[in-house]
Amino acid sequence: GTNHYQRNFIRVSFPYNENTVKTIREFGAKNQAEWAQWNADEKVWMFSLTEGSVWWLGNNLLPQGFVADDEFLDHFEQLGQLF
């Protein structure tokens, strides 16, 4: 999978995996300040560009082998220094 920033979104794409989709849906349901939405036209998940989304993605998807761009990794690293 990959992560890309576009405007105020984080774009996440990956080959369909039912467990990953379930995890993303649970994230969206449990976190009112953040959101995750499927974009059927582009076939990507769109996440809010927020600290909560960056922290969640970095801790939940990167360990699964997702690849992130440098901008995402910079944000994630900066958050890691705060927590």
Which two three-digit tokens encode residue 56? 């969640």
Over residues 45-73, the mean pLDDT reads 95
**pLDDT, tens only, 22-46:** 999 999 889 888 889 999 999 999 9
Over residues 19-24, the mean pLDDT reads 95
Instruction: Give the model's confidence band at 6: pLDDT under 50 very low, under 70 low, under 90 confident, else very high.
Output: very low
